[in-house]
A and B are shown apart, each in its own frame.
Chain A
């Protein structure tokens, strides 16, 4: 069986290549409401409540939360080595982008709607930082 992958040029603030299993979130994630010790999403009515973000390629629609807390939340995850491997955000804002830059978590935007919706099915994402290319490897492909 052939491995299905999709590749796209993106905008990224990064200083290294990175990869991670896709964690697709229909809703924004506020890192302040992620447990720094377990990396579990704590927000009550969040569809991903209880899911861990550590090492994941976190795909979110947008940033969320007041100007301070995204950075502090992400920083707390970083100090416990529980940060996501990358953040892919459809509608970025300066808060989420600068939080990621300061915490040295590669952040990616400029991803097409089609590509975004493909990530819903899971799989893994691979970021080539130098070439600013994001590759989605379909779920199950790693077990080929």
Chain B
């Protein structure tokens, strides 16, 4: 990979070891993926989640003087006030991970947005803009829905890019890699946002990481939630960073005859059977539930208000903790609604990710969620989930079982 003299200087430590270490990671990646050079970016999203692997690298950079040079937002960790609210014993180690996250964020000069959907409202790249976004829903969303350009960055490579203000020019930054190589005909009936997640999960399992699918046959009106979940689930079961939805996403919108655009003749069909198989895999448990998790990735304002509407004056069962995860920005905009929901037994929380120790009070029991991703990752924390749509979750929360 070609480096300018200035970039060589950064690599060789002229501007400190922090920048040098960031540059080393970018150069190693560039060489593994045959990048020709580094290209400038305007923004990065660092999917730090208060976990040790991330902190190890971030502290290595920060402690040797690195600071970000472009706007860099962060993923959620957990809101420290929740341990009192839920009477959860947080041990010193767990607390230290949160403290270290905040401390290293300040040192690095990142924006502590603690939100996994920065691409909705806050940090929105324009069509064709180069960026470095990690986070399994952020990467596909800005690539596909906005037509911006990012590779499927790791949290650390996105942070390194934020520090340097550049990213290696390969993969999805290049025109030729954004052309679909496979056509997906969806004959399955996709009815709502939840089904979009199921479809995404199935496609993640069957597509290869470099695949760029052109998806046809979807008849529902797309929502930002459906598109968010489609990408998030596809990147939990697999790794597909760019998709084109016929008639929806900007890079296919102007092309009337997409058949000639697909460089490969490879075609697959997704049937109702395929989607039902995913549904069955995640929904086969029934019983008393101790919790409902909504907001992996973070909920939008319409989703929070939907829960409010569906509850329709009723209260959540005393045995059930109803948890909604969203951004601090959304909490602020929701205002009084957050309090109203709290009085019905619904906790709308900011800054937090489902996969954090402060939610250990639900471990060991059965939960319910609309997120296949939440179900998948909380398994390591010894919690099983029934996965279903928001309508069913609200009914289950009132009844206390599913």
Contacts and interface: CB of A to CB of B under 8 A. Distances in A.
Interface of A: 11, 13, 28, 32-33, 42, 61-76, 79, 91-95, 97-99, 101-103, 107, 109
Given A67-B154, A101-B29, A109-B32, A93 B54 contact: no
B206 to A, nearest CB: 12
A66 B53 contact: no
B57 interface: yes
A63 B209 contact: yes
A13 B208 CA distance: 22
B53 A73 contact: yes
Contacts of A75: 52-53, 56
Interface stretch (B134-142, B190-198, B218-226, B392-400): B134-142
Nearest to A91: B209
18 contacts: A28-B238, A62-B208, A67-B152, A67-B158, A71-B51, A71-B54, A71-B154, A71-B155, A72-B49, A72-B53, A92-B33, A92-B209, A94-B151, A94-B153, A95-B134, A98-B156, A101-B25, A102-B25
Contacts of B235: 66
Contacts of B152: 67, 93-95
Q: How large is the interface on B (under 10, 10 to 19, 20 to 34, 35 or more residues)?
A: 35 or more
A35 to B, nearest CB: 10
B306 to A, nearest CB: 25
Interface in B22-67: 25, 28-29, 31-33, 47-49, 51-54, 56-57
A61 B236 CA distance: 16
Contact of B47 (A67, A76, A93): A67
A41 B96 CA distance: 28
A61 B238 CA distance: 11
Given A66-B235, A71-B54, A73-B53, A11 B154 contact: no
A71 B49 CA distance: 11
A68 B25 contact: no
* Interface-centre pick from B28, B29, B32, B236 (highest chain A CB count, 10 A): B32
Contact of B156 (A91, A92, A93, A102): A102
Given A32-B380, A65-B236, A69-B377, A95 B154 contact: yes
B57 A102 contact: yes
A5 B379 CA distance: 41
A79 B235 CA distance: 27
B32 A92 contact: yes
Given A32-B377, A93-B209, A98 B236 contact: no
Contacts, number: 121
A34 B281 CA distance: 21
Contacts of B54: 68, 71-72
A98 B25 contact: yes
Contacts of B158: 67
Contacts of A109: 32
A75 B60 CA distance: 14
B261 to A, nearest CB: 23
A76 to B, nearest CB: 7
A107 B208 CA distance: 19
B157 interface: yes
A67 B134 contact: yes
* Interface-centre pick from A28, A61, A74, A94 (highest chain B CB count, 10 A): A94
Interface in B134-177: 134-136, 139, 151-158, 171
A109 B239 CA distance: 17
Contacts of B210: 91
Contacts of A92: 32-33, 209
Interface in B50-99: 51-54, 56-57, 75
Given A93-B209, A94-B153, A98-B157, A67 B31 contact: no
Contact of B29 (A65, A66, A76, A94): A94
Given A61-B208, A68-B155, A71-B156, 17 more contacts: A11-B32, A28-B238, A32-B380, A33-B379, A67-B152, A67-B153, A68-B134, A71-B53, A72-B54, A92-B32, A92-B33, A94-B171, A95-B153, A97-B33, A98-B29, A103-B53, A107-B32
Nearest to B353: A68
A97 B239 CA distance: 13
Interface in B241-285: 241
A72 B32 contact: no
B298 interface: no
Given A67-B134, A71-B154, A97-B32, A76 B53 contact: yes
Contact of A11 (B31, B57, B157, B239): B31
Contact of B209 (A11, A62, A79, A103): A62
